[in-house]
Amino acid sequence: MSRGRRYEEPKLNMKKVFAVILAVVVIIMSVFIIRGIFQKESTGGGISSKTYFAAYENNKWGVIDENGDIVIDPSYEEMIIIPDNKTDIFLCTYDVNFETGEYSTKALNSQNQEIFTDYTKIEAISNYDENNNLWYEKNILKVQKDGKWGAINFNGETILNIEYDGIEAIPGVENALLIQKDGKYGVADDEGRVILDTNYVEITNLGKTNRDGYIVKDDKGLYGIIDSSKKMILPNQYQEIEKVYGNDLYVVTEDGSQKVVNNNGEDVLTQGFEQIAAILKTKDQGVIYITNGKYGVMNLTGEVLIQAQYDNLIEAKENTFIATKGEMQGIIDMDNNEKVPFEYSSISYNETGDIYVAEDENVMSYVMNNNFEIQQTGILIEINTNKGYFELRQEDEYKYYNFKFEERNKKEILSNHTLYLDKKDNQYGYVDKDGNVVVEYIYDDATEQNEYGFAAVKKRRKMGCN
């Protein structure tokens, strides 16, 4: 394998670095506890499907499967990357020179055989959201040969020809890859379709998905917007374009002044504010604006609907806003009527469940319906919009509710789990689907498994992770 340079960025995002370090520490703690759990469980019949985990032992990294069996011996200094824990592709980094940034890579399968050997480098394409949650792009790997980059799928089939100077994910956006050639940038998706040709000196996402379009900067330093079908929405004539849009309206800066324009480039709102923070969801309704550091609401004719008097203002749904006064939050409507008092440290709205979650200074959560009535109280563990439930810790128990606030059986909700948290004599352990004890009741506190099979546990005032 040849060598390349690592960490091209001139500056590291320290918040991201600390988050990654923390994640690695959690994995280190996790792997060998879960290995012991699965070994116990396997004596009762085992699990048929294969799931793989990076394993850390004696300061070396390897791979184990869900039964705790060693797949790749722990022999690597760097953590082995598993882009999809249901697929036996393990990416190993070795011969790292931290002074020069050079390193080598190779890919192995579960037979410890080297695969994808036609390339000098092979890497997963990492991505992360605004909360620094890390994931890898699905069914795609970037590969290097003769100093150029391309992409293959997990079967080794070519997705992007090896002709690019760089391939990276657009942060926070799934299925959107930033491709670079001759100092210019374009966009491709995970199936190799080139969405934007490499004609721009800078490309950023407009929204949170690959369908929302892209803000592009040309050679003259001017910005425009192109959608995912390559249609030019706004020409490159603006000094700035904010990631604030909605209802075919965009916030731009032209001739030094910020304004709202439509998708024909026509002025819609040009004065009465210092800054536009958001465009309201309801068509033709208005914007959240900022003046003298305070937030308010005005319509598209410039009429003030809510005076700029709040320290922050977020539209939850039509005619409903989460407002901040000082360090406390409440909820108001378009007529500035207080719907929820300003006595919470934070409030969020879940659109899928149509529920509000308010949290006080003691981290106690109050889950409200769309009439702002408190339906459940506890420590919020999770809101799962895919399965339609939220989890609360209530009086040392973990309980599950659907979005109608009906309590649900956890084995129905967590149907793909192999272990279930159980409590006996004020101690926690784990049982299988049939109620057989798999992990004895030895923990002072614990959580259910997450989607990767890990669970946090507490014993004698120390926290760990299964």
Range in 345-359, 391-405, 435-449 with the lowest mean pLDDT:
435-449
Q: Tell me the average pLDDT across 390-415.
A: 90
pLDDT value at 450 more than 90:
no
Residue 200 predicted with pLDDT over 90: yes
Assign 453 a pLDDT band (cuts: 50, 70, 90). Answer: low
- Does residue 18 register a pLDDT over 50? no
- Phi and psi dihedrals of 431, rounded to 5? -125, 160
One-character DSSP codes across 134-185: EEEEEEEEEEEETTEEEEE-TTS-EEEEEEESEEEEPTT-TT-EEEEETTEE
What percentage of the chain has pLDDT greater than the value 90?
Answer: 67
Q: Work out the percent of the chain whose per-residue pLDDT is above 70.
A: 87
- Give 423 or 4, the one with higher predicted confidence: 423
Q: Contact 301/284 with Cβ under 8 angstroms?
A: no
Q: Write down the pLDDT at residue 26.
A: 38
3-state SS class at 242: strand
Strand order through the sheet with 338-344 = 312-317, 320-325, 328-333, 338-344
State mean pLDDT over 195-207.
96
Q: Which positions ≥6 away from 296 have C-beta within 8 Å? A: 288, 289, 304, 305, 306, 307, 308, 309, 310, 313
Q: How confident is the model at residue 460 (pLDDT cuts 50, 70, 90)?
A: low
Which of 3-17, 64-78, 187-201, 220-234 comes out lowest in average pLDDT? 3-17
Model pLDDT for residues 170-180, shown as the tens digit of each residue:
999 999 999 99
- Identify the CA nearest to 325 among candidates 306, 343, 311: 311
Helix (H) or strand (E) holding 27: helix 14-42
Integer Cα distance of 141 and 145 in angstroms: 13
Sign of CA dihedral 199, 202, 205, 206: negative
The number of CA neighbours under 13 Å toward the Cβ of 466 is 29
| pLDDT score of 132 | 78
Q: What is the pLDDT of residues 26-76, one digit of tens each?
A: 333 344 444 444 443 333 333 335 788 888 888 999 998 877 789 999 999
For residue 16, what pLDDT band results from cuts at 50, 70 and 90? very low
- At which residue do the structure tokens 């899928």 appear? 352
The answer to whether residue 6 scores a pLDDT higher than 70 is: no
pLDDT at 159 over 90: yes
Mean pLDDT of 411-427: 82
Buried b (16+ CB within 10 A) or exposed e, 197-211: ebebeebbbbeeebe
Lowest mean pLDDT among 213-217, 398-402, 408-412: 408-412
| Strongest mean pLDDT among 32-41, 319-328, 439-448 | 319-328
Q: Who has greater pLDDT, 439 or 4?
A: 439
pLDDT band (50, 70, 90) for residue 454: low
Please report the pLDDT score of residue 67 as a whole number: 72
Give the per-residue pLDDT at 27. 39
Q: How far is Cα 368 from Cα 169, in angstroms, rounded to an integer? A: 37
pLDDT of 4 higher than 50: no
Cα separation of 35 and 55, whole Å?
9
How distant, in Å, are the alpha carbons of 165, 331, 363, 404, 443 from that of 457? 45, 36, 19, 30, 7
CA distance 254 to 29: 53
Confidence class of residue 212 from pLDDT cuts 50, 70 and 90? very high
Q: What is the mean pLDDT of residues 148-173?
A: 97
What integer is the mean pLDDT of 428-436? 85
